[in-house]
Amino acid sequence: MDLTLWQYQFRIIMLGDSTVGKSSMLKRYTEDQFLECINETVGVDFYVHFLEVEPGTMIKLQFWDTAGQERFRSVTRSYYRNSVGGLLVFDIGNRASFEHVRDWYSEVCEHVMPHAMIFVLVGHKSDRELDGERTVSKEEAEKLAAQLGTTYVEASAKTGQNIQMCFEVLTRRIYQGLQSGEVKLREGWDGIKSSALQAQQLQSLHESEQTKEKKGCC
């Protein structure tokens, strides 16, 4: 593990119904690519990206791209606890996916209790508005975001509009939480890792190994 590359690692989970475009958002963000035909996610996929939140502070973002399909829910659930942030995604042209956002939110909150996850709500496939396919208005999505205490962003992996913004808003929000003490590093929890702490732990492990060796020698 190269601890010199980043100061913090955040684990972020993608949440939302199947076909809302979670994998496409990550493909656009990490590879700047869009595929009209993309395979549905089976279980969970994994992506990495680096973001400099302020000069000299690099964050390693580890993304868990979960399958939206119900049959994978028992697998995807096991990833909630070790995530610090989540993107709640719906498709602005798919009303049911919007109505299910609350279910996703409640399910995750129940699993991570007594701790809290930081969310951003994403109205995805914003390009569909041009084709007259919008079925969820910006106002009602903003209202839901306010009720859930999150920020609302509309984005499109197809055009690339606001994709970076979704991930950056969430990352900055987590970083601020870390600085204010709202989010804390916890032992045995992988939602956030600090490279300084990891280096310290490696150092003390190394020292205790050396002490053991010396004792063995005597």
Ligand X SMILES: Nc1nc2c(ncn2[C@@H]2O[C@H](COP(=O)(O)OP(=O)(O)OP(=O)(O)O)[C@@H](O)[C@H]2O)c(=O)[nH]1
Interface with ligand X by CB under 6 A: which residues?
18-24, 35-36, 38, 40-41, 67-69, 124-125, 127-128, 156-158
Residues facing residue 87 across a β-bridge: 14, 120
Contact characters 81-120, Mg ion, x per CB under 5 A: ----------------------------------------
Residue 23 or 151 with smaller CB distance to Mg ion: 23
* Number of residues in contact with Mg ion under rule CB under 5 A: 3
Closest to 86 measured CA to CA, from 20, 22, 155, 31: 22
Site for Mg ion in 39-58 (CB under 5 A): 41
Which of 27/193 has CB closer to ligand X? 27
Q: Which of 7, 9, 23, 76 binds Mg ion (CB under 5 A)?
A: 23
Distance CA 144, CA 80 (A): 21
Closest distance to ligand X from the beta carbon of 77 (Å): 14
CB of 93 to ligand X, least distance (A): 8
For tokens 């910006």, what's the residue? 138
Return the DSSP state at 127: G
* DSSP-based three-state secondary structure for 91: strand
Element (DSSP H or E) covering residue 88 = strand 85-91
Torsions phi, psi of 61, nearest 5? -100, 120
CB atoms within 10 A of CB 94: 21
Whose Cβ is closer to ligand X: residue 8's or residue 63's?
63
* Site residues (vs Mg ion, CB under 5 A): 22-23, 41
